[in-house]
Structure 1
């Protein structure tokens, strides 16, 4: 499913991404091997396939292996700064240094990734209603072809992500000022605030149904 990007929107999004890039990332290089020794606080949720968080509501935690490294750095930095307000993730990210964040991101970006993993089957086309919602939100303008090739690595791959997580994430961007689950991001807030809960859920469940590159790599002790 190839979509045409809006050049104006894409240029704006790229500019905002550059402006929002975490300053600490300058000069900090992630080490995946070092990161493997720093994920003890992560594997209890992200190392169990289908693991469900219970706060602030029940949903599956995101699959983060194979995710863009730069996005993972950005997300962890946002939790540490408080731009993302989830208490558990804020507590974990707050304990990490810039180097820790870079190393953890490098580990998960490569964890379980195999040669040829970028080759995905063609996705199913959305129905007319969902197609209109995706067009209204200009989702492909940032997340790229088939929602697996973002125009900038600071944006996430979202195809194949757990639909219930995507729905909660979209609502968190829409409810950006909520003290428990809000997420501060001007691009995503502008998109999400256009939609009702039902419309956000329709978007999330379509994108989550697509073939994607993100995955959960089970921690051996939890198999």
Structure 2
């Protein structure tokens, strides 16, 4: 299985390289992104905000997330590789410049200059460690699951556990027009596990030290 995942990883990196070449020259602007995030802050700018689709869960923390990952995710919604109806509709309305600006804004959002480095992730239980090894999670998401080996991969440490659980299950879904994520690597990983095992992974990952935040907007305080 690990050999298959490594082959899939190489293929994904190649496709990302092609996308990067296509998008070359589109530079994100933090200040421009701050003026374009009206459709984002209604969910991602409210502490504790929950979505009810496809089940109740907190929307992900995106402040402090890697900008290239945010751009990659928005483009995946735009192309239909990710099938969440609301996110597909929002992403479809964005230009390449909009996506670059929003990605730059959220990568910088909530970042405190001179903040201490994250603490190393505490080890999980024997069962959780076995699941992490089986999924080879650190091979993509890096040390403490917060230093991705490729900037188009997300930081996942400290993300909301219930969101992680819903996202992981989405990689197992096929043939549904409104639910699912079409990523060969993550599909191969997630399908190895039962939903109960995915929940254990999500609970552990969500408990880790993180750079991810929800930065409240003044209008929602």
Fold conserved between structures, TM > 0.5: yes
Q: What pairs with 1:117-136 in structure 2 (closer than 5 Å)? A: 117=115, 119-136=117-134
Shift of 1:213: 0.6
Distance 2:204 2:15 in 1: 30
Residue 28 of structure 2 contacts residue 104 of structure 2 at CA under 8 Å; is this kept in 1? yes
Shift of 1:174: 1.5
- Give the match's secondary structure for 2:208: coil
Question: Which among 147, 151, 154 is matched to residue 153 of structure 1?
Answer: 151
Q: What pairs with 1:83-102 in structure 2 (closer than 5 Å)? A: 83-102=81-100
2:14 aligned partner? 18
Residue 5 of structure 2 contacts residue 188 of structure 2 at CA under 8 Å; is this kept in 1? no
Q: TM-score, normalised by structure 1?
A: 0.92
Change (3 A) 1:8 1:195: closer
Residue 14 of structure 1 contacts residue 152 of structure 1 at CA under 8 Å; is this kept in 2? no
1:144 aligned partner? 142
Residue 81 of structure 2 contacts residue 181 of structure 2 at CA under 8 Å; is this kept in 1? yes
Shift of 1:13: 2.4
- Give the match's secondary structure for 2:98: helix
Stretches of structure 2 that go unaligned for 5 or more consecutive residues are: none
Change (3 A) 1:178 1:7: closer
Stretches of structure 1 that go unaligned for 5 or more consecutive residues are: 1-5
| C-alpha distance after superposition, 1:63-83 (max 9, x if no partner) | 000000000000000001100
Deviates more, 1:23-32 or 1:38-47: 23-32
Question: Which among 42, 66, 69 is matched to residue 68 of structure 1?
Answer: 66
Distance 1:155 1:132 in 2: 22
1:214 aligned partner? 212
Distance 1:155 1:68 in 2: 8
Residue 8 of structure 2 contacts residue 185 of structure 2 at CA under 8 Å; is this kept in 1? no
Q: TM-score, normalised by structure 2?
A: 0.93
Distance 1:114 1:222 in 2: 22
Change (3 A) 1:127 1:87: same
Distance 2:83 2:161 in 1: 21
